[in-house]
């Protein structure tokens, strides 16, 4: 077994940054032991003895090569250019035998010589090396300085067996956590070891860089569509570009399926934004992946780390935060930001808690806020608003969990929960003689073909006429995918339910565009309504929007009517309904009947009798 202290006798490990590589791109200061293939020196002895060859090499797809020259160490040389023979062997699924390179037109012109063995290589044979998954990861090559007839059957068998042993070594090396079998880059453990070794009294901190190839879901979808062979090829191609960019003498590590990292030699790179922009530009260029052009969505994160932080924490997690954030940005790279990280952690906690609250714990509740018709002064409906009472966090406001549920894919369950509970409650109130409607807030992620079916099922289950329901969508939702949205909304309208445009005025839409949608009412956002008391400007906006919306056939609802004064102002306008704290705060379900009874006729209306 090869020791980990350095190259074994007669064994020389070299790593190519690029294939073929230029002299400057060799990671020549990389410790050789990190690339050693366990047991390879024994394999080499066996092959060399049974085939009587002086030279044996293991060439791996990712760019690693292990040399053995007939029991003599190939003294301190790096083969700078990977000869076409090796390159072809590396990719060839079949064994190759070149009895005399000088007679073979493919290799005749390319002199193949090593510094330690200046005479050209005349005989060359190779056997592919496969990973456990059946993918070819390289080739075991044997060479001689004199031409040969060919290989005998038994020599061939010996070479084949040796290739299997070599592949076991490569796989073992992977399982020992040292290198990736596809790119042959050192792994996460090596990254940490080296980072630890890098930091000392004189170098109190280091900059780590992480490169994410694509968001996890996108990468998985890519594998599902194209298969692992393409993904492996893509990773090799990405590694290739990274190695061409990375500062000389810096090691690149593969720290995840689609993630690379490195420790930068100093912090000059941070001051050189153009260099990081250049990295992103290189990565955004299409990759030729087995003949198919592919683009990735790279994100590059940077993190300053000191020895203390390394001891207690996981710098890769931190730098990944930055690279994730960067993936969504135009620039493509970002420096780690602690406050953003805290937000992510908090979000992650909330998402898991919300998922549990939705499935196994009864922490969600609906409150209902009355809506009043301004002609009669009577309550004509209530809006259901979700409430989350967390056992330790207390009440979490919808502003914190609605957006989160959308991003985490929980909205479908949340809306289902709201639908079932809201509709059940409304049906109960209507059975008790309260002639009110119910408005439900629906998010853009709900607006798919199945929303219609979900509505129908829930209403049928509670024997509720769908005319008693209204769905509220924000204006941006309505304008997002207009053609499909139009179809779904029309189907909802056809069932008899109403459609409201919520928070109108906060988006960028214009009324004419919204008019194309089959919506029935428009809710003017509370920010304008609240401002009416102090700003004549806001009052003018509310007044003119109301008039325009009504002329377009919308029923107009004003939100955020907090005071008597505001209530009087909207009474003086053309609005149809009002909602706000002056009328009522959102109420728990059991308080609604009492409120309805107490407020009958309590609020003024234009035509109230």
Spatial separation of the C-alpha atoms in residues 522 and 545, rounded to whole Å: 10
Rg of the chain on CA atoms, in Å: 35
Query: What residues are paired with 587 via a beta bridge?
Result: 368
Contact residue for Mg ion among 363, 446, 470, 472 (CB under 5 A): 472
CA distances from 58 to 87, 236, 346 (A): 12, 18, 49
**282, HSE (Cβ side, Cα atoms, 13 Å):** 18
> Least CB distance from residue 472 to Mg ion, whole Å?
4
Shortest Cβ 225–Mg ion spacing (Å):
39
Residue 420 in contact with ligand C2E, rule: CB under 6 A = no
358 binds, among Mg ion, ligand C2E, none (CB under 5 to 8 A by kind): none
Find the binder of ligand C2E among 6, 247, 286, 397 (CB under 6 A).
397
Q: How far apart are CA 348 and CA 343, in angstroms?
A: 8
Q: Is 502 in the site for ligand C2E (CB under 6 A)?
A: yes
**Residue placing its CB nearer to ligand C2E in the complex, 412 or 515:** 412
Question: Smallest gap, in angstroms, from Cβ of residue 341 to ligand C2E?
Answer: 26
**By CB under 6 A, which span of 136-144, 327-335, 437-445, 547-555 interacts with ligand C2E?**
437-445
Name 207's Cβ contacts closer than 8 Å, sequence gap at least 6.
Answer: 263, 264, 266, 267, 269, 270, 302, 303, 304, 305
Cis peptide before 20 (omega within 30 of 0): yes
Single residue of 521, 526, 546, 569 touching ligand C2E by CB under 6 A: 526
The bridge status of strand 555-558 relative to strand 123-130 is unpaired
Q: Does 577 bind Mg ion (CB under 5 A)?
A: no
Residue number, 41 or 472, with CB nearest to Mg ion: 472
Q: Read off φ and ψ for residue 357, nearest 5 degrees.
A: -60, -35
When the beta carbons of 255 and 522 are compared against Mg ion, the nearer one is: 522
Of residues 82, 355, 402, 541, which one binds ligand C2E by CB under 6 A?
402
Measured at the CA of 405, the angle between CA 397 and CA 556, to 5 degrees, comes to 65
d(CA 564, CA 509): 31
211 binds, among Mg ion, ligand C2E, none (CB under 5 to 8 A by kind): none
Q: Among 101, 167, 250, 441, which residue interacts with Mg ion (rule: CB under 5 A)?
A: 441
Which stretch of DSSP H or E encloses residue 395?
Answer: strand 394-396
Q: What's the full length of the chain, in residues?
A: 609
Query: Between residues 48 and 441, which has the closer beta carbon with respect to Mg ion?
Result: 441
* Contact window for Mg ion (CB under 5 A) among 392-400, 411-419, 476-484, 494-502: 494-502
Beta carbons of 48 and 56 less than 8 angstroms apart: yes
Q: Is 581 in the site for ligand C2E (CB under 6 A)?
A: yes
Pick out residues in 366-395 that bind ligand C2E (CB under 6 A): 369, 385-386
Under the binding rule (CB under 6 A), the answer on residue 477 touching ligand C2E is no
DSSP H stretches of helix in 176-227: 188-198, 216-226
In angstroms, rounded to a whole number, what is the distance separating the alpha carbons of residues 605 and 609? 8
Residues in 541-560 at the binding interface with ligand C2E, rule: CB under 6 A: 559-560
List 92, 257, 416, 443, residue binding ligand C2E (CB under 6 A): 443
**Which residues contribute to the site for Mg ion (CB under 5 A)?**
441, 472, 502-503, 559
Binding residues for ligand C2E, rule: CB under 6 A, are: 369, 385-386, 397-399, 402, 418, 441-443, 472, 502-503, 526, 559-562, 579-581, 586
């Amino acid at each position: 077994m090869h020791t980990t202290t350095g190259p074994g006798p007669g064994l020389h490990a070299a790593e190519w940054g690029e294939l073929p590589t230029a002299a400057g791109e060799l990671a020549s200061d990389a410790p050789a032991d990190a690339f050693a293939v366990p047991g390879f020196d024994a394999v080499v002895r066996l092959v060399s003895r049974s085939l009587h060859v002086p030279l044996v090499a293991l060439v791996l797809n990712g760019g690693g090569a292990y040399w053995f020259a007939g029991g003599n160490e190939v003294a301190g040389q790096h083969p700078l250019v990977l000869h076409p023979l090796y390159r072809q062997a590396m990719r060839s699924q079949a064994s190759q035998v070149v009895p005399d390179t000088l007679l073979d037109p493919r290799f005749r012109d390319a002199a193949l010589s090593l510094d330690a063995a200046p005479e050209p290589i005349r005989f060359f044979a190779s056997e592919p090396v496969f990973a456990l998954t059946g993918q070819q990861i390289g080739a075991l090559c044997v060479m001689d300085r004199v031409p040969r007839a060919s290989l005998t059957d038994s020599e061939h068998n010996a070479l084949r067996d040796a290739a299997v042993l070599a592949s076991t070594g490569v796989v073992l090396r992977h399982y020992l956590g040292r290198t990736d079998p596809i790119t042959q880059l050192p792994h996460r453990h090596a990254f940490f070891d080296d980072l630890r070794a890098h930091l000392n009294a004189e170098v109190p901190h280091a900059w780590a860089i992480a490169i994410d190839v694509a968001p996890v879901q996108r990468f998985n979808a890519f594998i599902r569509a194209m298969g692992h062979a393409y993904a492996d090829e893509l990773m090799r191609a990405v590694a290739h570009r990274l190695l061409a960019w990375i500062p000389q003498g810096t090691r690149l590590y593969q720290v995840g399926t689609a993630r690379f990292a490195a420790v930068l030699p100093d912090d000059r790179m941070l001051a050189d934004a153009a260099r990081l922009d250049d990295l992103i530009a290189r990565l955004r260029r299409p990759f030729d992946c087995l003949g198919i052009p592919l683009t990735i969505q790279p994100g590059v994160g940077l993190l300053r780390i000191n020895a203390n932080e390394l001891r207690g924490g996981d710098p890769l997690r931190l730098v990944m935060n930055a690279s994730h954030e960067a993936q969504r940005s135009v620039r493509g790279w970002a420096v780690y930001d602690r406050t953003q990280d805290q937000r992510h952690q908090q979000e992650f906690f909330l998402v898991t808690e919300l998922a549990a609250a939705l499935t196994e714990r009864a922490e969600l509740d609906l409150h209902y806020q009355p809506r009043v018709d301004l002609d009669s002064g009577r309550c004509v409906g209530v809006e259901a608003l979700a409430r989350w009472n967390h056992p330790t966090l207390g009440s979490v406001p919808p502003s914190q969990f609605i957006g989160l549920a959308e991003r985490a894919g929980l909205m479908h369950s949340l809306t289902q929960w709201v639908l079932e509970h809201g509709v059940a409650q409304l049906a109960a109130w209507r059975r008790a003689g309260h002639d009110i409607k119910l408005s439900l807030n629906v998010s853009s992620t709900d607006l798919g073909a199945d929303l219609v079916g979900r509505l129908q099922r829930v209403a049928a289950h509670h024997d509720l006429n769908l005319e008693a329901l209204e769905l509220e969508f924000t204006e941006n939702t309505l304008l997002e995918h207009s053609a499909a949205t139009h179809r779904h909304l029309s189907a909802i309208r056809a069932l008899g339910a109403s459609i409201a445009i919520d928070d109108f005025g906060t988006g960028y839409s214009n009324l004419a565009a919204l008019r194309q949608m089959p919506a029935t009412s428009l809710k003017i956002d509370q920010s304008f309504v609240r401002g009416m008391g102090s700003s004549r400007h806001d009052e003018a906006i509310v007044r003119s929007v109301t008039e325009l919306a009504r002329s377009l056939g919308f029923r107009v609802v004003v939100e955020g009517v907090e005071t008597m004064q505001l209530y009087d102002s909207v009474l003086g306008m053309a609005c149809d309904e009002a909602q706000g704290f002056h009328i009522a705060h959102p109420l728990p379900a059991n308080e609604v009947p009492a409120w309805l009874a107490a407020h009958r006729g309590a609020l003024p209306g234009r035509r109230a009798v």
